Amino acid sequence: MEWSELEAKCAACHGCALWQTRTNLVFGTGSRTASLMFVGEAPGEQEDLSGIPFVGAAGQLLDKYLEAVGIAREEVYIANILKCRPPRNRDPLPEEQDACIGHLREQVKLIRPKMIVCLGRISAMRLIHPDYRITKEHGQMVKKGAFLLTAVYHPSALLRDASKKEDMYRDMKAIRDTLRTLEAAEPQA
Ligand code: SF4
The single-letter DSSP state of residue 83 is S
Ligand 1 nearest atom to the CA of residue 16, by list position: 4
Position 145 scores a pLDDT of: 87
Q: Is the CB of 104 under 6 A from ligand 1?
A: no
Q: How far apart are CA 47 and CA 28, in angstroms?
A: 10
Q: Is the CB of 36 under 6 A from ligand 1?
A: no
Centroid of ligand 1 to alpha carbon of 76 (angstroms): 23
Judge whether 30 and 86 are in contact, CB under 8 Å.
no
Q: Is 185 left (phi over 0), alpha (psi -120 to 50) or beta?
A: alpha
Full strand arrangement of the beta sheet holding 147-152: 29-30, 77-80, 36-40, 115-119, 147-152, 142-144
> Mean pLDDT per segment of 10 residues, for the chain of length 189 residues?
96 97 97 97 96 94 96 96 95 97 97 97 97 97 93 95 95 96 78
Collapsing DSSP states into helix, strand and coil, what is residue 56? Answer: coil
Ligand 1, atom 2, lies closest to the CA of 100
* Strand locations in 92-178 (E): 115-119, 142-144, 147-152
Q: Is the CB of 84 under 6 A from ligand 1?
A: yes
Q: Is the CB of 83 under 6 A from ligand 1?
A: yes
Q: Is the CB of 42 under 6 A from ligand 1?
A: no
Tell me whether residue 5 is exposed, middle or buried, using C-beta atoms within 10 angstroms of its C-beta: 0 to 12, 13 to 18, 19 or more: exposed
Distance of CA 85 to the CA centre of its chain: 14
Tell me whether residue 14 is exposed, middle or buried, using C-beta atoms within 10 angstroms of its C-beta: 0 to 12, 13 to 18, 19 or more: exposed
Ligand 1, atom 1, lies closest to the CA of 84
Question: In the chain, how long is the greatest CA-to-CA distance?
Answer: 46
Q: Is 82 left (phi over 0), alpha (psi -120 to 50) or beta?
A: beta
Q: How far apart are CA 134 and CA 164, in angstroms?
A: 11
Centroid of ligand 1 to alpha carbon of 102 (angstroms): 10
- Could you give the count of Cα atoms lying within 13 Å of 114 in the half-sphere of its Cβ? 19
Position 188 scores a pLDDT of: 57
Centroid of ligand 1 to alpha carbon of 92 (angstroms): 11
Position 44 scores a pLDDT of: 94
What's the CATH class of domain 3-182?
alpha beta
